[in-house]
Amino acid sequence: MSPAGDPARIPVLLDVDTGIDDSLALLYACASPEADLVAVTCTAGNVDARQVAENTRAVLELAGRPDVEVALGRETPLARPLVTTPETHGPRGIGYATLPPARTPLSARHGADVIAEEARRRPGALTVVCVAPLTNLALAVEREPDLPLLVGQLVVMGGSFRTPGNTAPTTEWNASVDPESVAAAYAAFGAAEVQAERTARGLPPRPLALGLDVTERAKLVPAHLARLAARAGCGPDGTRPDGSVNAVVRYLADALRFYMEFHSRYDGFYGAFVHDPFALAVALDPTLVRTSPVPADVELAGALTTGETVADWRRTWGRPDTLDVGVEADAAAFFDRFVERVGALAAAVG
């Protein structure tokens, strides 16, 4: 693997609310040779922000990357009470899994400052991947108004543009937790003058939004975990032929068992939508999705639709396009990479 800072690698900052699928994204980032994981910023969502920071550091230590900076950001949404989802991810956010207490300290920097400062340090080069409510991103834009011109690419896992929601009939979880932050981010990054300047600088003009339309194509089932475990040289529960345990595979088995039971109850299949690692994989290789530009906004005051991400596919608003929305996904290619990469990581460090 190339050393950190290698220009052939993609500097990536992950913003998370770790969560089971966030933890899979962290493992995928650590396992991907083209990714230079610059930092991870934490906000509340799946669980409270302090638990997010604990989970994030523990997973990075499990992956052999205690060197990655982990920063705590804002602990509540911009304008609403915090709602978490223990029924989806478990009371601590990692299902049935247990991990040793994190040993590495939290960053002294605030998460929003990390986003802004790392973007300033690498103007036009940093890929920011948000797989949590956009609270930290919105605060970072408030602190650094030029952020939309400094980020190389913004990839957001959030929203539901042409498919039912997973929180309310038309709303996706990340957007529903803090819709005001979505509105702020869309307004800042989608502004016409920002798009024009980014185009002039040779940058992607619009953020890439990966809603449930494509992330629910990434449906992990027990066969995927069995393949990954075989790549790591152990059984699906992490047990090796000599009776020892691969810690990475055991973690995956225990975390995903909870997640699969949840989807079995609510979605009618024994498996798991792994939204967040798919979003990270797309950030590293955009050919995994086909996108369509569209004007988009978020509902803030609907009686039934607050948090709905609204895409104007017929252009009735007369507004310019503000997002590139994922509309098709190559889930098979993603899972081949996930199995190989995370399986190899597990073999190396587990």
Neighbours of 330 (CB within 10 A): 18
Q: What value does the mean pLDDT of the chain take?
A: 96
Q: Which of 260, 257, 58, 279 is nearest to 155 (CA)?
A: 279
Contact 316, 173 (CB under 8 A): no
* Per-residue pLDDT at 348 exceeds 70: yes
Number of domains into which the chain is organized: 1
Q: At residue 278, what is the residue type?
A: F
Query: pLDDT (tens digit, 9 = 90+) per residue, 168-216?
Result: 999 999 999 999 999 999 999 999 999 999 999 999 999 999 999 999 9
- Helix or strand or coil: residue 117? helix
Query: pLDDT (tens digit, 9 = 90+) per residue, 149-175?
Result: 999 999 999 999 999 999 999 999 999
Domain assignment of residue 134, yes or no:
yes
* Per-residue pLDDT at 350 exceeds 80: no
Written as one string, the DSSP assignment of 276-341 is HHHHHHHHH-GGGEEEEEE-EEE-SS-TTTTT-EEE-TT--S-PPP-EEEEEEE-HHHHHHHHHHH
Q: What is the CA radius of gyration of the chain?
A: 19
Domain assignment of residue 133, yes or no:
yes
Domain assignment of residue 259, yes or no:
no
Query: pLDDT (tens digit, 9 = 90+) per residue, 286-295?
Result: 999 999 999 9
Residue 149 structural domain: 10-219+269-349
CA distance 59 to 248: 9
Six token digits for residue 32: 């991907």
Task: Residue 193: give its domain's CATH number.
Answer: 3.90.245.10
Domain assignment of residue 225, yes or no:
no
User: Parallel, antiparallel, or unpaired: how do β-strands 219-220 and 208-210 relate?
Assistant: unpaired
Burial of 202 (0-12, 13-18, 19+ CB in 10 A): exposed
- Mean pLDDT over residues 50-68, rounded? 98
* Per-residue pLDDT at 7 exceeds 70: no
Q: What is the pLDDT of residue 3?
A: 38
- Mean pLDDT over residues 32-40, rounded? 98
Query: pLDDT (tens digit, 9 = 90+) per residue, 233-279?
Result: 999 999 999 999 999 999 999 999 999 999 999 999 999 999 999 99
Q: Residue 5 — left, alpha, or beta (φ > 0 → left; ψ -120 to 50 → alpha)?
A: left
Q: What is the pLDDT of residue 8?
A: 81
- Mean pLDDT over residues 46-69, rounded? 98
Domain assignment of residue 242, yes or no:
no
Domain assignment of residue 229, yes or no:
no
Query: pLDDT (tens digit, 9 = 90+) per residue, 15-24?
Result: 999 999 999 9
Q: Using alpha carbons only, give the angle 209, 213, 214 rounded to the nearest 5 degrees.
A: 75
CA distance 3 to 283: 20
Q: What is the pLDDT of residue 2?
A: 34
- Mean pLDDT over residues 62-83, rounded? 98
* Per-residue pLDDT at 52 exceeds 70: yes
**What percent of the chain shows pLDDT beyond 90?**
97
Q: Look up residue 133 and give its DSSP letter.
A: -
Domain assignment of residue 239, yes or no:
no
**What percent of the chain shows pLDDT beyond 70?**
98
* Per-residue pLDDT at 5 exceeds 70: no
Domain assignment of residue 262, yes or no:
no
State phi, psi for 16 to the nearest 5 degrees. Answer: -135, 165
Q: Look up residue 7 and give its DSSP letter.
A: T
* Per-residue pLDDT at 107 exceeds 70: yes
State phi, psi for 121 to the nearest 5 degrees. Answer: -70, -30
Burial of 293 (0-12, 13-18, 19+ CB in 10 A): middle
